A and B are shown apart, each in its own frame.
Chain A
Amino acid sequence: MAPRQQPGSQQRHQSGRSLALVLGMGMALCLCAFTAHAAGPMAILSWGDKGEALRATVNEAFINFRTGPGRGYPIFYIAERGEVVEVLKQRTDWIKVRNVKDIEGWVHVDEMVLTNDQNDQPLTVDRANRESYSNRKWEMGTLLGDFGGSSTITAYGGYHLTRNVSLEGALSETFGDFSNGRAATLSIVHQPFPTWRVSPFLTIGGGVRETNPRSTLVTVEDRVDDTLNAGAGIRAYLGRRFIVRLQYKNYTVLTDRDDDEEVNEWKIGLSTFF
């Protein structure tokens, strides 16, 4: 039996890797942009520079130092009112601090807001809550669902131009009985009520779609088509950094044939924001 050879398999192979690469790079870019946005280029340059350390003074009876960034880690030290601590870093809801005696521990953000900064003002810490959700700039998530009868998986990233309008880029892969597909779309998303916990949105966009017939079928060439889409959905803020997203989109695949294809897509997913 001869090795199976499919026309286009080389190309498909390449594109599989490149999609994964693009996915990874896209995420990395998103993250880089985020870190740059959050910390600023100066923060990277001033790594290890102890001169600009952020100091905070305990302004309540005491704050608890834990051995790790979690509620289960034991409290091993208590910093009392008036004690000065150096703020080192933040991981999720925990802030690592060091006192004058070089004792290092993790303090919860709810306790850190009870300290004063250098200007004797309450320290403002980035906490994931409803307010930061409403003012979010970046949104990222994954969606799973059904694209015209095929399973589909999507990764997307969005940037909020205003509270109402955001620009979203998405990469999808679909898995059908007869063909697989990959798609990239760019959309504009409008949410009329950005402050609602459960907030509807409308979306319109366009992109490209690559369809690869299954290798076990009679060989048919891969094809690339442009697509247009319009849809609607709901974002629900669960709390902390979690958003659940449900959406419907109607795609028009602009094929070379006489008729364009129309495909309905339903997806649900989990997103986060910065």
Chain B
Amino acid sequence: MENRLKHLLLGGVLAVGLAYIPAGQTADETVVQVIEPELERREIKTAKIDKENFEIGGFVGIIAIEDFDSSSVYGARLAYHLTEDFFVEATYGQATGDLTSFEQLSGGSPLFSDEDRDFTYYDLSVGWNIFPGEIFIANRFAFNSSFYLVAGAGSTEFAGDDWFTITAGAGYRLLLTDWVALHLDVRDNIFDRDSFGEDEQTHNLQFNTGFTFFF
């Protein structure tokens, strides 16, 4: 009797259980998507805006090579503007040193070969647009401008060797249009030289001017 009751109960539980599970499954299957989302996934793409953060150009000027007279200097520059305040710049320039005063006065054969008088340098600098501004010419014209300071390091090849060079200077950039600029620059290329035996610090000041183009 007891056995039959157990049998019945268990059978009932099993039956209910079995009946329930398929019912649950069918309920799942019959879920219909009522609302079809019409959203398209938006692809976030940065707008294609022409960026003009690079500046390339050339310059000519005068450099006073310590002990070797003044001469013309010319070169190229490439800058990248990081923010409105700061830029980084690579400069390459070349000039030719003249006779030293001693060579001129002694009248003897020159101490250095012509090739050793070639003065070539490059530097990598950081610039700071310390005084940005605007200038006005008559009633009609207004040009953006900036007075900047630069400092950096590089190498100078002169008198048969390469010398570690520190550069410091200041300049003025006048933007004639949004992308053409006129520069006036003063730079000091400072390096220690031992061409005359003793180690001496030389200051090679230059004044140059040139045009650059933003791209």
Give the residues in chain A near B153, CB-CB below 8 Å. 142, 144, 153
Give chain A's interface secondary structure class: mixed
Of chain B, the residue at the smallest CB distance from A52 is: B48
Query: Chain A interface: which of B57-65, B73-81, B200-208?
Result: B73-81
Of chain A, the residue at the smallest CB distance from B51 is: A90
Query: How far is A13 from B161 in the complex, measured between Cα atoms in Å?
Result: 9
Does A16 have its Cβ within 8 Å of any Cβ on chain B? yes
- The answer on a CB contact under 8 Å between A1 and B111 is yes
Number of interface residues of A (CB under 8 A): 66
Give the residues in chain B near A24, CB-CB below 8 Å. 76, 78, 90, 92, 122
- The answer on a CB contact under 8 Å between A1 and B155 is no
The answer to whether residues A89 and B49 also contact, given A20-B92, A270-B126 and a CB cut-off of 8 A, is yes
- The answer on a CB contact under 8 Å between A95 and B49 is yes
Interface string of A78-106 (1 = CB under 8 A from B): 00000000011111111110000000000
Give the residues in chain A near B215, CB-CB below 8 Å. 35
- The answer on a CB contact under 8 Å between B49 and A92 is no
Give the residues in chain A near B124, CB-CB below 8 Å. 142, 153, 155
- The answer on a CB contact under 8 Å between A1 and B84 is no
- The answer on a CB contact under 8 Å between B51 and A38 is yes
Instruction: For the complex formed, measure the closest distance between the CB of A89 and the CB atoms of chain B, giving whole angstroms.
Output: 4
Does A242 have its Cβ within 8 Å of any Cβ on chain B? yes
Query: How far is A54 from B48 in the complex, measured between Cα atoms in Å?
Result: 8
Instruction: For the complex formed, measure the closest distance between the CB of A194 and the CB atoms of chain B, giving whole angstroms.
Output: 20
Instruction: For the complex formed, measure the closest distance between the CB of A91 and the CB atoms of chain B, giving whole angstroms.
Output: 5
Of chain B, the residue at the smallest CB distance from A152 is: B164
- The answer on a CB contact under 8 Å between A71 and B49 is no
- The answer on a CB contact under 8 Å between A91 and B144 is no
- The answer on a CB contact under 8 Å between A70 and B132 is yes
- The answer on a CB contact under 8 Å between A2 and B109 is yes
Does B120 have its Cβ within 8 Å of any Cβ on chain A? yes
- The answer on a CB contact under 8 Å between A23 and B90 is yes
- How many pairs of A and B residues are in contact by the CB < 8 Å rule? 159
Give the residues in chain A near B80, CB-CB below 8 Å. 31, 140, 272
- The answer on a CB contact under 8 Å between B49 and A4 is no
- The answer on a CB contact under 8 Å between A272 and B111 is no
- The answer on a CB contact under 8 Å between B52 and A91 is yes
Which residues of chain B (86-144) have a CB below 8 Å from chain A?
A: 86, 88, 90, 92, 108-113, 115-116, 118, 120, 122, 124, 126, 129, 132-134, 142, 144
Does A192 have its Cβ within 8 Å of any Cβ on chain B? no
Give the residues in chain A near B25, CB-CB below 8 Å. none
Which residues of chain B (14-39) have a CB below 8 Å from chain A?
A: none
The answer to whether residues A87 and B47 also contact, given A20-B120, A92-B83, A153-B154 and a CB cut-off of 8 A, is yes
The answer to whether residues A70 and B92 also contact, given A124-B46, A124-B47 and a CB cut-off of 8 A, is no
Query: Chain B interface: which of A159-167, A200-208, A211-219, A225-233?
Result: A211-219
- The answer on a CB contact under 8 Å between B48 and A40 is yes
Give the residues in chain A near B52, CB-CB below 8 Å. 89-91
Give the residues in chain B near A137, CB-CB below 8 Å. none
Give the residues in chain A near B194, CB-CB below 8 Å. 216
- The answer on a CB contact under 8 Å between B84 and A92 is yes
Query: How far is A116 from B164 in the complex, measured between Cα atoms in Å?
Result: 52
Instruction: For the complex formed, measure the closest distance between the CB of B47 and the CB atoms of chain A, giving whole angstroms.
Output: 6
Give the residues in chain B near A124, CB-CB below 8 Å. 44-47
- The answer on a CB contact under 8 Å between A13 and B118 is yes
- The answer on a CB contact under 8 Å between A212 and B162 is yes
24 A-B pairs with C-beta separation under 8 A:
A3-B109, A4-B111, A4-B112, A16-B157, A17-B120, A24-B90, A24-B92, A35-B54, A67-B144, A73-B134, A90-B49, A91-B53, A95-B49, A124-B45, A142-B88, A175-B163, A180-B161, A215-B160, A216-B194, A240-B83, A242-B82, A270-B126, A272-B80, A272-B88
Chain A residues within CB distance 8 Å of chain B: 1-6, 9-10, 12-13, 16-17, 20, 23-24, 27-28, 31, 35, 38-40, 43, 54, 67-73, 87-96, 117, 121, 123-126, 128, 140, 142, 144, 151, 153, 155, 173, 175, 180, 212, 214-216, 240-242, 270, 272
Chain B residues within CB distance 8 Å of chain A: 42, 44-54, 76, 78, 80-84, 86, 88, 90, 92, 108-113, 115-116, 118, 120, 122, 124, 126, 129, 132-134, 142, 144, 153-155, 157, 159-164, 178, 194-195, 197, 214-215
